[in-house]
Amino acid sequence: MEHIGIRDLKNKLSSCLSRVQKGERIIVTDHGVEVAIITPVSPERRAMLSLVKDGRAEWSGNKPKGCDGVKIKGKSIAETVMEERQ
């Protein structure tokens, strides 16, 4: 991972974002201290945002909505874990 200072990031933002889109991660520093990491958007997030854009799901920033009516068969995960602990 490359380290880049805030000033250089401002000056090279477009090229840095192009690199991130290709999968690279960049660490941003402020006077040599790491303050942030710029990473590509995960495939899961892209898929979720695509569903929202197509109107097939709603999302308020928390858990995605749009799965109303989905029923899970069997025991819940919590019940299974509790049984395993006994």
Q: Are 64 and 51 in contact (CB under 8 A)?
A: yes
Q: Per-residue pLDDT tens for 4-54? A: 999 999 999 999 999 999 999 999 999 999 999 999 998 888 888 888 888
Categorize the per-residue pLDDT at 84 as very low, low, confident or very high, splitting at 50, 70 and 90: confident
The total of other beta-carbon atoms located within 10 Å of residue 16's CB is 19
Would you tell me which CATH number, out of the four given (3.40.1620.10, 3.40.1670.10, 3.40.50.2300, 3.30.420.340), belongs to the domain 1-65?
3.40.1620.10
Give the whole-angstrom CA distance, residue 56 versus residue 67.
9
- Determine the Cα–Cα distance for residues 70 and 63; give it in Å rounded to an integer: 15
Instruction: Please give the pLDDT value at position 55.
Output: 85
Place of tokens 């889109």: 21
The pLDDT assigned to 69 comes to 59
Amino acid at 23: G
Write down the residue that tokens 């395993």 correspond to.
84
